[in-house]
């Protein structure tokens, strides 16, 4: 989150003219009618070999840990120093249409979607319901490939990157001090309250004082697709009230992007992700305050 010379946050509104979701049926139609500018990415984290075994035919692997994170960063899943590079390596250019999905529904694909926004790409969609929705709609599956194994020619991205879509500890502190901003934690209610263990070692329990909790799992219907916008609006409004800018945190910056996507569907546009998230704020050697 950047600031102007008054110390107030610079608006970070997303492009409201491009809906962030695409249905399996719409993707099938797009593939059948005009796939020439289409790039389908399978967002993967933790088990890329499994993702390569079965996916949407023609998709390319987007390995969050290996390719879409900064390798030498102190905290996991940190935005790459050159956020456009992994997209260009997938053959993506300014005029590409990008669809991101993941194998488990909508868990890690929004992280790639958010990185694409930060890279300045405009036409990027998340497949609502992920691979399960694709299969349920009758979509075929096949082994997929990494961009390197597929022999993809590099794309050319000249768009201006948007680093202001990410923030740091100081940005979170500024947001907490503003009545028009809210800090939203996407972790489970148990982790937020400090009664459930953190999955990573050497982490404190609790949450950022003044933050609110919207667990990302609460944003989905039983079939794994997002709830209708009116229901999403109710969920967020119950926590953030009249706040117009939302700053998202989670464990390591991944599911924060799920909740950011949910807020975008609910009508919020001024959205920021705290990249360090609890991995930074809640680390055992951090001096940041915590609440339970």
Q: How many CB atoms lie within 10 A of CB 242?
A: 8
Of the chain, the end-to-end C-alpha distance in Å amounts to: 26
Q: How many CB atoms lie within 10 A of CB 68?
A: 26
Give the list of residues 6+ apart from residue 234 with CB closer than 8 angstroms, or none: none
The beta strands (E) that lie in the chain are given as 21-22, 38-44, 60-63, 97-101, 124-127, 166-167, 181-185, 212-213, 245-249, 270-274
Give the list of residues 6+ apart from residue 111 with CB closer than 8 angstroms, or none: 43, 45, 64, 68, 77, 253, 254, 257
How far, in Å, are 45, 63, 87, 114, 124 from residue 18 at the CA level? 26, 25, 19, 13, 8
Query: Tokens 């991205």 appear where?
Result: 157
Q: How many CB atoms lie within 10 A of CB 10?
A: 10
Q: How many CB atoms lie within 10 A of CB 35?
A: 12
90 catalytically annotated: no
User: What are the catalytic residues?
Assistant: 250
């Amino acid at each position: 989150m950047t600031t102007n010379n008054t110390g107030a946050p610079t608006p970070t509104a997303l492009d409201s003219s491009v809906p962030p979701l695409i249905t399996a049926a719409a993707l099938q139609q797009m593939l059948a009618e005009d796939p020439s500018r289409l790039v389908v990415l399978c967002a993967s984290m933790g088990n890329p070999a499994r993702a390569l075994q079965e996916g949407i035919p023609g998709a390319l692997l987007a390995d969050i840990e290996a390719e879409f994170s900064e390798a030498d960063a102190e905290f996991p899943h940190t935005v790459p120093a050159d956020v456009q590079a992994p997209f260009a390596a997938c053959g993506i250019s300014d005029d590409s249409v990008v669809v991101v999905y993941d194998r488990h529904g909508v868990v890690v694909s929004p992280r790639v979607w958010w990185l694409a926004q930060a890279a300045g790409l405009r036409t990027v969609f998340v497949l609502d319901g992920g691979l399960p929705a694709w299969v349920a709609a009758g979509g075929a599956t096949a082994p997929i490939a990494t961009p390197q194994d597929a022999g993809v020619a590099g794309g050319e991205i000249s768009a201006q990157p948007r680093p202001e879509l990410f923030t740091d500890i100081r940005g979170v502190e500024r947001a907490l001090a503003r009545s028009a901003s809210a800090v939203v934690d996407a972790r489970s209610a148990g982790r937020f309250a400090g009664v459930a263990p953190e999955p990573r070692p050497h982490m404190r329990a609790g949450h950022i004082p003044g933050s609110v909790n919207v667990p990302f799992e609460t944003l989905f219907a039983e079939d794994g697709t997002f709830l209708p916008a009116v229901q999403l609006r109710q969920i967020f409004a119950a926590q953030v009230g009249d706040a117009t800018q939302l700053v998202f945190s989670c464990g390591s910056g991944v599911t924060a992007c799920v909740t950011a996507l949910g807020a975008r569907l609910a009508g919020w546009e001024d959205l920021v992700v705290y990249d360090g998230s609890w991995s930074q704020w809640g680390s055992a050697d951090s001096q940041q305050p915590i609440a339970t």
